[in-house]
Each structure stands twice: as C-alpha cells, then as structure tokens.
Chain A
C-alpha cells in the first residue's frame, strides 16, 4: 500500500493509524510565523466509528489503508454471519455482527448495500437509504384517521420496530428511511 504525506491528506483518504483503518475527515494546516508547520487531522476510525484528532509534523506520512467501498447484494443470514454477493463476479463475502451493526434491522434479501471492505473483508455495511419492508405486527388503527397523531408502533419483517400512522395495517409494505429509522410512506400493492 502506498503511503501518504501530510500534504496529500484530504477528506475521504483512507489511512492506517495505530493499526486501525481510518478515513480522514479534515486536515488543517497550522504554521506559526516562521517555523515548524503542522497538520491537525480529524480521522474516523472505520472499525469503531470513533473520531480521533491527531497532529502531525508537516512532511510526516501514514500508510494507506486497503479500504474499498463496493456495492453488494445482501443474500441471507445464517444467524452468525450476513452474506453478501458481488453481482458482477458472484463472489460472496460474509460480514460478522460487528461489521453489520445497526444495518441488520434494515437488511432485506436481494437489496443492494454499500459494503466497506478492509483487506478484502467486510468492515462496515451501509443499507440503502430507503428500504421497503412488510409490517408483520401492529394494532388495528382507528377508522378515519389520516394524519399523524403520534402514530403507533409497528414491527417489520426484519424485527425492526418503527412508528407508523394509525391507518397503516398489518400486511402492508412500509417504506423506511434507514438514516433516521422513520416511516416514509407505504407501498400500494
């Protein structure tokens, strides 16, 4: 892997720091009148999601991280691993629970996800921004209610629980914004 010097640090660059792959969020060049220049860098640890702040001397360098974002199709879960497939090469990868994280409650078979690969193995899974999931359980709503009065809880086929308007019924398909976990409409059959 190539190494990158501070002058090449820019937002989005993936580098190794303390043995973990990180993405640079921002790089601030700091230099006093005449003297040593520094780079103050904010990085996101791609394993833990934590944000680190580090200062480097100008000209220092970091090893690049073998990190790649790829579109993969979610196939199934065996309970321990979540399996994804590259639809061009049919190559399959298995992601563990740590990599799947919160995404697991939105994963529907055959949906395309963005999988971050680190040294070729899934490090992180991003579900599509919107998913369509069947409502498997919700209380019958009041007739005539059309707009939000706070709504009611509904359990989706993946086990996720969201709030839906009172008129939404069991068996219907809800559209959900995975970034907020909010109901975004229903799909007419």
Chain B
C-alpha cells in the first residue's frame, strides 16, 4: 500500500483556510490589492543559493513572485500582495518542501520600519499577545558567538563555525550563514517575535544597503523569527537598475565559482527598473511556517496535505 493519505490533519487544513481569510481581510482593510503572477516564466532568480526548477520549453518554476510583482509596481499598481506557490529544487526537510506557499507583499512609500510595523500587525492578529523585540544582526551574532560578523577576520569566523561542526572549506559568508542557522537562531527566545535587522552587506540580495556608523556596509533587510522558525524576510527594495545588473553579474560569478549553471539576467525586470520602480519595501512570508507556528508543529508535513515525498 502506498502512502496515499494526507499528512495534514483536518485541523491543519482548517487552520490554513482560516489563515488565508485572515490575510485577505487584513489587506482588504488596508487597501492592498491582491494580484496573481505567473509561476512558470522564462527567467528564474540568479541567487546562487536558490536552485530553480527548469521546465523544458518554458523556463523555470518561480522560486518567488518577486520579479513579476516588481514589474507590476513599476507599471503603477500601487500596494500589492499575493499568496502563491513557490518552488525550490533540493529544499526538503522538516521545515522545507520543494513546493511551498508564499505570502508576499510590497508597499510603495514604506521604509523598512514601516513594513516591519505592518508585518508585526499581521502577526498580532495571528499570534495575539506575543511580544516583539528587535535586534541588530551584528549585535545579536556577537552576543551568541563572541564575534562581530562584519569586522572579525575571515579565519576567526571560519574557525568558529568549524568548532561548532561546520564542514571544512566554507568561505566567510557561508561560515556566518552556518553560525546564524545553527547557533544564533536557536538562541532566540521561542515565545517572542524576534525582528533581526541590519544584515551584513554581502547578504543584501535585492535589498538596498547603507553604511553603519563605523563605515561597514549593512543591508536594509529584516527577518522575523518565532518559535524557532524563520517566518519573514523583508527588504527596502533595490530600485537602481544598474545596481541590479551588477548583482546579477555578481551572482553569476559566484555561480561559476561554485560550478553552478549561470542564470541570464531577466531583461523584463531590468527594463522595469529602468522605467522606474517606486521607492518601496517588500516582504515574503512562508505560509507553511506560519501554520507550523500557529499549530506549534515542528514538521512542515503536518501542515501540507501531501509533502514532496508523497505528492
């Protein structure tokens, strides 16, 4: 007999339906338009840590609706949100499934603080009476590991990661990723919405950067953690087409260095940025993670009807 039954309980399926209607009401009340963008498109993201799933003759399943939503913003959509499926090859585990649900929204005219407030307002409806606290990435990282990720030497950071079980041969950014994922996240209080801001400049992805008081580059990016889960990842968005092109090129150089296929820069996105993306902030939230936090579950399979291994 095959594993034909769903892994989600009826309770979890009802929790998903309830969550989606809470989200719809939340954005309707705030005048944010629900949109729908393609999941199958010619180009995929260039981020070297994301492996897009190619579809012969079509392009890629989208790992996030970001590029298309930015094109809507550039065309003058105003504030928009959507919940959609997103796909990432090889991401499978107790908290990951190669196909998952993303809630993503963009707010023209909002700076990062404005978007963090709105995120916390939504979480307030889902997790009532949960306190929040904000940490600067470098302070939090230093408190847990004893090293400032922006000023410590590469070898100190790599050695620290290896002492805590990291594989050999990591570069500085990967060592910081390792320590963040295995030590720092684990040290955050579970019953608190922990907002982490000011990520290192090299982890900016599509966020703007600024110089910290000591001249080091930090990203205008935040993450929110709750019950040991990373729930949200937000940016004050990059709007400069030339800088976007440079990041595409930088991503592809990294991809080549690590023996990965390169990804063509998406000309539609670049043209939209050239036309003009309004100053805005945007955030992506893993809907399954939200449900896991709601149901106090530690397995993504509890909130998916059929996870990848039985879909």
Chain A residues in contact with chain B, CB under 8 A? 6-7, 27-38, 40, 53-60
The interface residues of chain B lying within 8 Å CB-to-CB of A55 are: 165-167, 178, 182
* CB proximity of A170 to chain B, nearest CB, Å: 48
B92 interface neighbour in A7, A32, A53, A59, Cβ under 8 Å: A7
A38 touching B205 in the complex, CB below 8 Å, given contacts A29-B95, A32-B230, A53-B165: no
- Of the listed residues A7, A29, A33, A56, the one surrounded by the most CB atoms of chain B closer than 10 A to its CB is A33
B233 interface neighbour in A34, A53, A56, A57, Cβ under 8 Å: A34
Complex Cα–Cα for A6 and B221 (A): 29
Chain B residues in contact with chain A, CB under 8 A? 47, 49, 90-96, 165-167, 169-170, 173-174, 176-178, 180-182, 185, 203, 205, 223, 230, 233
In the complex, 12 of the A-B residue pairs with CB atoms within 8 angstroms, ordered by the A residue number, are A7-B90, A28-B94, A30-B181, A31-B49, A32-B181, A34-B49, A35-B177, A35-B203, A38-B167, A38-B182, A55-B182, A57-B167
Q: Is the CB of B90 within 8 A of A36?
A: no
Q: Is the CB of B96 within 8 A of A29?
A: yes
* CB proximity of A31 to chain B, nearest CB, Å: 7
Complex Cα–Cα for A35 and B185 (A): 14
A30 touching B93 in the complex, CB below 8 Å, given contacts A38-B181, A55-B165: yes
Complex Cα–Cα for A56 and B167 (A): 6
Q: Is the CB of A30 within 8 A of B182?
A: yes
Q: Is the CB of B180 within 8 A of A31?
A: no
The interface residues of chain B lying within 8 Å CB-to-CB of A7 are: 90, 92
Complex Cα–Cα for A27 and B93 (A): 8
The interface residues of chain B lying within 8 Å CB-to-CB of A36 are: 49, 170, 173-174, 177-178
The interface residues of chain A lying within 8 Å CB-to-CB of B169 are: 57
A29 touching B93 in the complex, CB below 8 Å, given contacts A36-B173, A57-B167: yes
Complex Cα–Cα for A55 and B90 (A): 16
The interface residues of chain A lying within 8 Å CB-to-CB of B182 are: 30, 38, 40, 55
The interface residues of chain B lying within 8 Å CB-to-CB of A38 are: 166-167, 178, 181-182
Nearest A residue (CB) for B47: A34
Complex Cα–Cα for A108 and B253 (A): 64
* CB proximity of A8 to chain B, nearest CB, Å: 10
- Of the listed residues A29, A31, A36, A54, the one surrounded by the most CB atoms of chain B closer than 10 A to its CB is A36
* CB proximity of B304 to chain A, nearest CB, Å: 15
Complex Cα–Cα for A54 and B167 (A): 8
* CB proximity of A130 to chain B, nearest CB, Å: 27
The interface residues of chain A lying within 8 Å CB-to-CB of B203 are: 33-35
A31 touching B47 in the complex, CB below 8 Å, given contacts A37-B91, A55-B167, A57-B167: no
A32 interface neighbour in B165, B166, B170, B177, Cβ under 8 Å: B177
Complex Cα–Cα for A56 and B165 (A): 9
Complex Cα–Cα for A36 and B177 (A): 6
The interface residues of chain A lying within 8 Å CB-to-CB of B205 are: 34
Q: Is the CB of A60 within 8 A of B94?
A: no
* A6-B90, A7-B92, A54-B167 given; 8 more Cβ-contact pairs under 8 Å: A27-B93, A29-B91, A30-B93, A30-B181, A31-B91, A32-B181, A34-B47, A40-B182
The interface residues of chain A lying within 8 Å CB-to-CB of B230 are: 32-33
Which 8 interchain pairs have the tightest Cβ spacing?
A: A29-B93, A35-B177, A32-B181, A36-B174, A36-B177, A7-B90, A32-B180, A32-B177
